[in-house]
Amino acid sequence: MKKYIIILLQLLISSSLYSQPLVLVSGNIKPYIETYEGIKEYFNGEVQLRFSENEPKDIFIYSPWFVIGDKAFNFAQKFNKNKKTVFALVKNPQKKITKKNSDLTGYRLNFSPKLIAEKINNLFSNGKNYSIGIPYNPKNNYYYVKKIIKKLSANFTIIEIPVSSDKELVASFEEIWNKINLILLIPDDTVINKDNINYIFSQALSKKIGIIGYNRWFVKRGAVFSYFIDYKELGKDTAKLYKKHKNGQILYYNKIKTIGNKLILEKYNMQKIEDKLDLLWQQN
């Protein structure tokens, strides 16, 4: 009898464990981890964390799945296509969702172009004219950049910096450094890598050109200001994308949501931004 009680307890523990949500993360970077922490808080800590870069093998028993970032998303689609999945911080997921995996839902990594433009317009509404360069890969962000440009005020002269590979970026910037006094950075795999960012910041700061970034790190590095999102709150919202029915089933919404409504600014007021720009430009 004792043996059966032990087996029953083990089954109950296993059943409880396997019903826990899985959070599959693309890498150990702050935005991903903060998003995971939001999901974890929503489930009162009852979640399983794994990193897709380690190609975990013990994850197929957990449900539902929450995947954070492109690598985790791709891993989930490759190895577990039939698993119901909620995602966050995935670039252009609409291009990866087909009829076969149409039960996917989540938040895409696309800041609202309208909100970005509105923030910039409000912060630079001092009557001065600005020339702003926007580096991007047209294959990834052509229409996205056009939407931002359309919403920017008339006091901005736009210099587009299209690049089709990261190797083109330096040469493209060399042609326009003397034409701009601001740079707007957006999430773009072609533009945003360690070497390119080091180049952009070192050159821009030495040439007294202001940078507009999209996370706190950019401000610490020397950007004039950054727009970004509250990743922990995004994690909670991602966890809320499903509802449990009385019979235990989960209802998934076949809708991709934007994180644009989470857009906030690093806590700089306009005077501080102008002071920082004046400090950059006083030698020009």
> What strand order describes the sheet that includes 256-258?
48-51, 22-25, 65-68, 85-90, 105-108, 256-258
Residue 212 CB burial class (10 angstroms; 0-12, 13-18, ≥19): buried
Q: How far apart are CA 39 and CA 45, in angstroms?
A: 8
Cβ atoms of residues 93 and 104 within 8 Å: yes
Tell me the residue range of the domain where 208 lies. Answer: 113-213
6 lies in the same domain as 93:
yes
Q: For the residues 50-60, what does the mean pLDDT come to?
A: 86
pLDDT for 204 beyond 80: yes
Helix %, strand %, coil % of the chain (to 5): 45, 20, 35
Which of 155, 185, 213 is the last residue before a domain boundary? 213
42 lies in the same domain as 173:
no
246 lies in the same domain as 200:
no
Q: How far apart are CA 213 and CA 225, in angstroms?
A: 6
Work out the percent of the chain whose per-residue pLDDT is above 70: 74
Q: What is the CATH number of the domain that holds 85?
A: 3.40.50
pLDDT (tens digit per residue) in 251-279: 444 455 555 445 555 444 444 555 655 55
131 lies in the same domain as 161:
yes
Closest CA to 117 of 149, 156, 146, 143: 149
pTM, to two decimals: 0.68
158 vs 81, more confident: 158
77 vs 102, more confident: 77
75 lies in the same domain as 121:
no
- On whether residue 278 sits in a domain, the answer given is no
The number of folded domains in the chain is: 2
